[in-house]
Structure 1
Amino acid sequence: MDIGIVLQTTPPARRVIDLAKRAEALGFSHVWTFDSHILWEEPYVIHSQILAETRNVIVGPMVTNPATRDWTVTASTYATLNEMYGNRTVCGIGRGDSAVRVTNGKPTTLATMTDAVNVIRELANGRSVDYKGSTITLPWAEKSELEVWGAGYGPKALKMIGETCDGFILQLADTQIAEWTISAVRTAAADAGRDPDDITICVAAPAYVGDDIEYMRDQVRWFGGMVGNHVADIVTRYGDETDAVPQALTDYIKGRQGYDYNQHGQAGNTHADFVPDEIVDRFCILGPPSAQLERLAELRELGVDQFSIYLQHDGKDHTLTEYGERVIPFVNETKLAKT
């Protein structure tokens, strides 16, 4: 199992870049960032600098969307980064949340997301694609390689991801919900004639290494509020008592009364009080290294290929160090030098 991190591009950008460099030195495989260009700094500029100052980590947004950027520009950005730094990018994409809602927009349809995945992936892999009545190609991108991983929660989104995307991003670490969503993605892939094992499974959630559970819960309670935005959309579409969506995902938002994007992804925000401790414990991974390893083992058994830590709390440096020294070395079986 790979271990990555997810960072906000909060200024100063130098701090984000330094965290990325430290993550690579500690054995992390991926550095993801939010993509919300009004709330924080432009991620692709920072991605370029992270790639310039590291050797191995793969970078990408968690997640971009089809609404705020022209798809051909997005594809060209990835292909350029790949040409400069050797195919070390991945595109995480969803229908859109903070980046579109802050500008009074709304998430795109799944049909639009499907089209965007196709255009971005084909162009960024040096292939031709039909776009607005023309066949277009990035003629200089023949050596570029890009995977597109889709993020979603609802049945239709999971079906689209299984049929279309190279990877699936689940933004919570609850094993029950992970099992349901992964099964739905793989079933959709098989029904579409794809090999389900070819789809990379990534779970992303806050992790905090420590012993004071109450304190850590308050530092990451914001995450349940962020996930609640997407769950509220699902409840609007499917209802909160349908067999289409597990109640383990929908029940907790009944006390939700709104969301302030000015506090998006921030510890101690004022709109996540409705999130109960149980949800924090299920959606996030809190506790000493042994607790981290136990949950990671459960996720790995479900087929998760990567766990990425949302590092939005006051224990960034401590958690990075603890993972680097006491978690990552023990996540996977150690190969013997001599047998």
Structure 2
Amino acid sequence: MLVGAALQPVYAADEFGGIVTAMEGWGIDQLWLTDSSMHAKCCYSFATLAALHSRTMTIGTAVTNPITRHPGVSAVAALTQHEISRGRFRYGIGAGDRPLLALGYKPARLAVLEDAITATRRLWAGEEVTWEANGFSLDKAHVRYGAPAQIPLYVSASGPKTLEMAGRVADGVILLAGLHPEGLQYAISHIERGAEKAGRDARPSITVFGYGAIDDDEEIALAAGRTIAAWFPQTAPEYCRLAGLPEDIAQRVKSAYGGGEFQEAADAARLLPDDFVRRMSLCGDKSVVRDHLKTMAELGIDCFAAFPTTDSVESRLRTVQVLAEVAAEIKAE
């Protein structure tokens, strides 16, 4: 199984290349960069830096959306990254999340997302596209510069309808489902259902994101994982039920979640039991990481990516490094 890192592009640009080189040296296979509108720096600029400072790791958006980025514009951006990275770019797209609210938008409907995927692939193939699609239009649109390419396309998904759509059409799925087996099995079953309905021979590749921190100090680790755990009652409540969170607590957390990025959910997060936080996030020491990796290997998951949520650069990178170390130890056994 592969291991990855998902980062918000908030680092100093002149330091980020060194961070990427270090991560590749640790054994990180996938690097994902968030496209968080005004909540971070430009993911495509940082993807360029990452491509120029690495040789083997894949680099992707996690994730862009068809609301703030027209599919035609995103198609060109992805083809450019494909060229710069010499084929290592992965195009991650989703409906969009709470950062859209600051721009006055709501997440995309499923039909808009699927049409955006279709349009993007047609443009990548070199077609001239005229289409009144759901949520956007194209009029004799075609890519003028850059060779046609088939770039691996990943869909970010949690809910059953998006998971099934991803199973039908995506090359990969970025899975936000917590880290406990019941939630992961639930999500995988919907992905496989979509793949089966489409007559595909196999389901798409699956990368699971684990938000939080790896730390010997459990309080630090729990604090890092608590805010993403508060995201689930608001955005993907089915995983709360599967993880055993009482309905009254889920409703209180949902009411207290003020919006914005998951890091802004501190008040809501304090309402959550520690056991629920452990089930939904990456929080603990090396032994916890080892358990997660073994569970995911048993479920046939292709990659586990750490999304560190601590404040300091050093602690975030330490989480990524420890994940790579534990994966290497397991592989050597």
Range of TM-score over shorter length: 0.7 to 0.9
In the TM superposition, residue 184 of structure 1 has moved relative to its aligned partner by 1.1
Aligned equivalent of 2:134? none
Residues 218-265 of structure 1 show CA distances to partners (whole Å, capped at 9, x for unaligned) of 122111123343226x79xxxx9xxxx847589452222243445x24
Q: Which amino acid aligns with 1:182?
A: I
**Letter of the aligned partner of 2:190 in structure 1?**
A
Query: Does the residue aligned with 1:20 lie in a helix, a strand or coil?
Result: helix
Paired position in structure 2 for 1:194: 200
Confirm or deny that 1:215 pairs with 2:213. no
- The residue that corresponds to 1:174 in the other structure is 180
The answer for the alignment partner of 2:54 in structure 1 is 54
Contact 2:180 2:243 in 1 (8 A): no
CA distance in 2, matches of 1:250, 1:185: 27
Q: Are 2:172 and 2:205, in contact at CA under 8 Å, matched by a contact in 1?
A: yes
- Inter-partner Cα distance in structure 2 for 1:327 and 1:127: 45
Is contact 2:20-2:53 (8 Å) kept? Answer: no
1:131-179 CA-to-partner distances (Å, cap 9, x unmatched) read: 3464543254435331111122222112211111111121232221110
Helix, strand or coil for the counterpart of 1:144?
coil
Larger mean Cα displacement after TM superposition, 171-180 or 69-78: 171-180
Q: Give me the TM-score of the superposition, normalised by structure 2.
A: 0.87
Any unmatched runs of 5+ in structure 1?
A: 335-339
Letter in 1 for 2:91: C
Shift of 1:16: 4.2
Q: Secondary structure at the match of 2:150?
A: coil
Q: Which residue number corresponds to residue 305 of structure 1?
A: 302
Q: Which residue of 2 aligns with 1:259?
A: 257
66-75 or 120-129, larger mean C-alpha shift: 120-129
- CA deviation after TM superposition for structure 1 residue 280, in Å: 1.3
RMSD, aligned CA? 2.6
Q: 1:24 to 1:179 in 2, by over 3 A?
A: same
Shift of 1:267: 8.3
1:145 to 117, 142, 150: 150
Deviation sequence 1:282-319 (CA, Å, 0-9, x none) = 11233332321221111111111011101121422322
Q: Counterpart in 1 of 2:190? A: 184
AA aligned to 1:95 is A
Moved more, 200-209 or 130-139: 130-139
Asked if structure 2 preserves the Cα contact closer than 8 Å seen for 1:124 and 1:138, the reply is yes
- Equivalent in 268, 281, 293 of residue 278 of structure 2: 281
Contact 2:35–2:43 under 8 Å retained in 1 = yes
Cα pair distance change 1:158/1:249, threshold 3 Å: farther
Q: Residues 191 and 260 (structure 1 numbering): CA distance in 2 closer, same or farther, change over 3 Å?
A: same
- Taking the aligned partners of 1:261 and 1:13, their CA distance within structure 2 comes to 28
Q: Aligned partners of 1:159 and 1:320: how far apart in 2?
A: 30
Note the 1:20-99 alignment, pairs <5 A. 20-99=20-99
- Superposed CA deviations along residues 183-212 of structure 1, whole A, max 9, x for unmatched, are 111111112111234x10111012533322
Residue in structure 1 matching 2:159, options 154, 157, 164: 154
- Partner in structure 1 of residue 124 of structure 2: 124
Paired letter, 2:79: A
| Aligned amino acid, residue 289 of structure 1 | K
Q: Indicate yes or no: 2:223 matched with 1:224.
A: no
8 A Cα contact 2:212 2:283, kept in partner: yes
Change (3 A) 1:133 1:102: closer
| 3-state DSSP of counterpart to 1:90 | strand
By how many angstroms is 1:181 displaced? 0.7
Distance 1:130 1:248, change over 3 A: farther
Q: Is 2:300 the partner of 1:329?
A: no
Question: Which residue pairs with 1:337 in the alignment?
Answer: none
**Structure 1 pair 48/231, CA: closer, same or farther in 2 (3 Å)?**
same
1:332 is paired with a residue whose SS is helix
Shift of 1:109: 0.7
8 Å CA contact retained: 1:292, 1:327: yes
The total of aligned residue pairs comes to: 322
